[in-house]
Chain A
Amino acid sequence: MAHFDENAKPFSHKWMNERLAVDTLKRVLSTEYWIPKNINFLWAMGMVLAATFGILLISGIFLLMYYQPNTQLAFDSVNYTIMSEVGYGWLWRHVHGVGASVVFLIIYIHMFTGIYYGSYKRGRELIWLSGMLLFVLFSAEAFSGYMLPWGQMSYWAGMVITNLFSGGGLHADFLVEWIRGDYVPGQAFLNRFFMLHVLLVPLAIIGVIVLHFGTLRLPHVNNQDGEEFDFEEAAEQYKAGNVKESKVIPFNPVFLSKDVFVMGIYFIFFFYLVFYHFEFAMDPVNFDPANGLKTPTHIYPEWYFLWSYEILRPFSTNVGLIAFAIAQVIFFTLPFMDRSPNVAPASRRGAFKFWFWAMLIDMIILTFMGKLPPEGIWSTIGLIAALTFMALWIALPIITAKEKKL
């Protein structure tokens, strides 16, 4: 039984410490959570993501107060009530829309930073896996949220994506109907995606964010050279005052000061988009109300899904679906497909350097082709890029197994 000082004043430092171990918590989670000194601004992307998620959560709460999850009312509750009747409703909506798009840009930067520096290996596998789980959850969150304004693109994207669950040649139409709660997207469909968007998926995201932070604690954050060193020794050095020689810094306040500076630059970019360039995040097609009798000329997902959409599209239905399913999960396997023991920037890893840049450029090409109409030369380029994507993953274990140990 712990000792409780009966004379301690309620909510005094001592009183709190005895009940909540606030000093220990502060030490473990912030002032003695050690971060390598040898890092660059890309290491701030985690905090930038956390901040963006916070912005999405807060703006979402405000929007939730006026949004109507009803097929008859949803469109006007977003485009009229929130945009013109609610004070600053337009600001919350533009913040939410731009945030949903920008969060994926930062996620991709965060992912490719991890791939470039090999931050998914040697004790850091769970960081990568929980991060990928977050990517999947954010995708579900983005898709379910996209349904809510009930515009033409909401409706038809909902139609196309839920259709994928028929499994092509399997003709599992019962599954599609079960997911929709109807033969076509309708009231039941809108209601369940509303629930997913505002309750279940955000809850799961918050849980996995905690897990993601947890997985960082023991293996620690990677550094620019993939250098392995004794964190405890470096921490002792820092605490003894040899801050110049020590390879680490405390999260709070030293690392945090850099995070906040990077966040400041990011917020300038973010709010520039919110006020002057929001249309990129709000597709014009979705400003036409949903109409099940009128298919839009071009149906395409938001930009962050385009690369995987393009892996689906150039093939016949069944092959496309299999390729698409593989593309959705293949990044989870990265820590195991990479057979090299080296934790180092891609630039020092021989063939992997080319693999990295080829993968990045291939995914950008896939993204471009995913939006263009699938005709003529665009289809051909899309097909080649999709095949290249597969080939790169087949090549990965081979080239990394041959990699020289550094």
Chain B
Amino acid sequence: MKELKIFGIVAVFTLILYWGVEPFAHSQMHKHVEGDNLQYSDLKAVPKGDAAKGEALAAACVGCHSIKVKNMPAPMDALASAQAYGVNPPDLSLAGAMLDEKFFARFLLNPAEVTKSKHFAMPPSAGSAQDAADIVAYFKSIAPKEVTAKEGYEFACGRCHANRYDHWTQIGDVPKTKSNIKTGVDIDALEFKKKLGTYQNKLADYMGKLPPDLSIIIRARSEHFLHTLIENPQSQLPGTAMPRVGLNKEGMEKVFAYLEKTGDPSKPLREETGPKVLLFFFVFTILAFLWKKSMWKGLH
């Protein structure tokens, strides 16, 4: 069939063209970074921890952090914390659920070195590897079984990165406020804006610049890039101020689930609609073929 041969030639050239401008070009433009499968293999192993001992040691944490699952509030609010440290320290309720155990313990011993972030605000907070392991064991014992995607994001990313498509700011959700009906002025919203702006200025001083909003980052960067960046920021952006946060597999999944929800919310409906539309055009094409056959019958 001559026509099929012509179609084959067109298809082959189209595929070559696609290969050249997409997979090939991108493989040349971006250096390939091999992930570590969340092994944090540069860090030494730690001994087994004892949660009971850890509980006593963890009492020191609430000097800066809150532990909401234990009803322990933070000593300062987000803004005051940022003024003191540059950034708001995280609530530690989820630390045991989100962080890799080995990373977490090594981090307590030397935060700046383990996060690869030179001026990391937190000082070393464990006397020995055993103490560190005990504290980790304690946080694992108090971590809730179920962590939502948004909670995961808030813990791991949300104090530096806003997500405006989910109305998330570095100091929490944008509050619902009402404007004065006579003037249209919304004092509460303005006050929130001022508070947020002050926090962001402090954060920018601490990080060197304001970390980007991550609303749609899932479409701006490849999944591989984001995965290896979170696992080890220096591998993708040498010199970046972003600390290594040491997420474990579940923690990473929560963060990605949230980024996908805000950056690609149409995915479920897209996957549901796709097969129906294609089926419609399959039927359309079969009917068109039968029509064509009947029209061209007897022409040759």
Contacts and interface: CB of A to CB of B under 8 A. Distances in A.
Given A261-B289, A268-B278, A285-B220, A41 B266 contact: no
A4 interface: no
Contact of A268 (B16, B271, B285): B285
A265 B288 CA distance: 10
Contacts of A213: none
A254 interface: yes
B178 interface: no
A284 interface: yes
Contacts of B294: 257
Q: SS class of chain A's interface: helix, strand, loop or mixed?
A: helix
Contacts of B22: 280
Contacts of B192: none
B273 A261 contact: no
Interface string B1-36: 011001100100110111011101100110000000
Contacts of A364: 13, 16-17, 20
Nearest to B262: A84
Contacts of A88: 269
B44 interface: no
A373 B20 contact: no
Nearest to A45: B10
Interface in B201-248: 212, 215-217, 219-222
Nearest to A250: B295
A367 B24 CA distance: 12
B277 interface: yes
A90 B266 contact: yes
A346 to B, nearest CB: 12
Contacts of A287: 216-217, 219-220
A109 B7 CA distance: 11
Nearest to A360: B13
B289 A275 contact: no
Contacts of A298: 29
Contacts of B220: 284-285, 287-288
A257 B266 contact: no
Contacts of A254: 295-296, 299
A260 B2 contact: no
B95 to A, nearest CB: 31
A371 B215 contact: no
Given A41-B3, A271-B278, A288-B220, A371 B21 contact: yes
A323 interface: no
B6 A284 contact: no
A288 B263 CA distance: 12
Given A80-B165, A257-B288, A372-B25, A243 B298 contact: yes
Given A254-B299, A260-B292, A284-B221, A367 B285 contact: no
Contacts of A372: 25, 28-29
Given A249-B299, A257-B291, A261-B289, A368 B221 contact: no
B215 A80 contact: yes
Contact of B285 (A83, A261, A368): A261
Contacts of A109: 10
Interface in A97-111: 105, 109
25 contacts: A40-B3, A76-B165, A79-B215, A79-B216, A83-B266, A84-B165, A88-B269, A90-B270, A109-B10, A244-B298, A249-B299, A257-B294, A257-B296, A258-B296, A260-B292, A261-B288, A264-B289, A275-B278, A287-B220, A288-B212, A303-B21, A364-B17, A371-B25, A372-B25, A378-B28
Closest 4 CB pairs of A and B: A264-B285, A275-B274, A90-B266, A287-B220
Interface of A: 37, 40-42, 76, 79-80, 83-84, 88, 90-91, 94, 105, 109, 243-244, 249, 253-254, 257-258, 260-261, 263-265, 267-268, 271-272, 274-276, 279-280, 282, 284-285, 287-288, 297-298, 303, 306, 360, 364, 367-368, 371-373, 378
